[in-house]
Amino acid sequence: MASPMHDTGKVGIPDHILNKQGILTEEEFQLMKKHAELGYEMLNHSTRPILKTAATLAYEHHEKWNGKGYPQGLKGQDIHIHGRITALADVFDALGSNRCYKEAWEDERIFSLIKEQKSEHFDPTLVDIFFDHLDDFLEIRDRFKDVE
């Protein structure tokens, strides 16, 4: 229930950056990265458990298993399980969806990247779970696919 709020902080990012067609400049990318902290700051003040969870998701969904993510540079199990799950789900969804700056990737290309990023970007146990239950994830994705 909290996962759709992981990008809440993007409301604080200028539209010209969010909707840019093409690669962001380094300055634009640094501004875009602020969405994780902005989302956390917006959601963390609530006493409601679902919003506390959403705050964690917002803050940690760009952390990487190898410690090279942002905004905190957390590594491995120092990343909350909610953040680790959302990191994988977010990449799976984003790569498989058309965006103003890119076309959707084919499934096999997405699967290849996820396998390649096991123990780098993604929790290796979660990658195994993802592929063990791939049919379920594909069914959920297809049921909730964005309508263009």
Has residue 148 been placed in a domain?
A: no
CA angle 146, 60, 40 (to 5 degrees): 85
Q: How far is CA 73 from CA 22, 47, 129, 140, 144, in A?
A: 26, 26, 24, 31, 31
Tokens read off for 5: 């709020």
Has residue 134 been placed in a domain?
A: yes
Domain count, the chain: 1
Q: Whole-prediction pTM value? A: 0.91
Residue-number span of the structural domain to which 15 is assigned = 3-143
User: What radius of gyration do the chain's Cα atoms show?
Assistant: 15
Q: How far is CA 138 from CA 39, 75, 91, 106, in A?
A: 28, 28, 14, 13
pLDDT in tens, 56-99: 999 999 999 999 999 999 999 999 999 999 999 999 999 998 88
Distance CA 63, CA 139 (A): 27
Has residue 129 been placed in a domain?
A: yes
Has residue 128 been placed in a domain?
A: yes
Q: What is the pLDDT along the chain (148 residues), one digit of tens a residue?
A: 999 999 999 999 999 999 998 889 999 999 999 999 999 999 999 999 999 999 999 999 999 999 999 999 999 999 999 999 999 999 999 999 888 778 989 999 999 999 999 999 999 999 999 999 999 999 998 888 777 6
Q: Which amino acid is at 69?
A: G
Tokens read off for 112: 């290849």
Element (H, E) at 24: none
Has residue 91 been placed in a domain?
A: yes
- The residues assigned a catalytic role are 10
3-state secondary structure of 67: coil
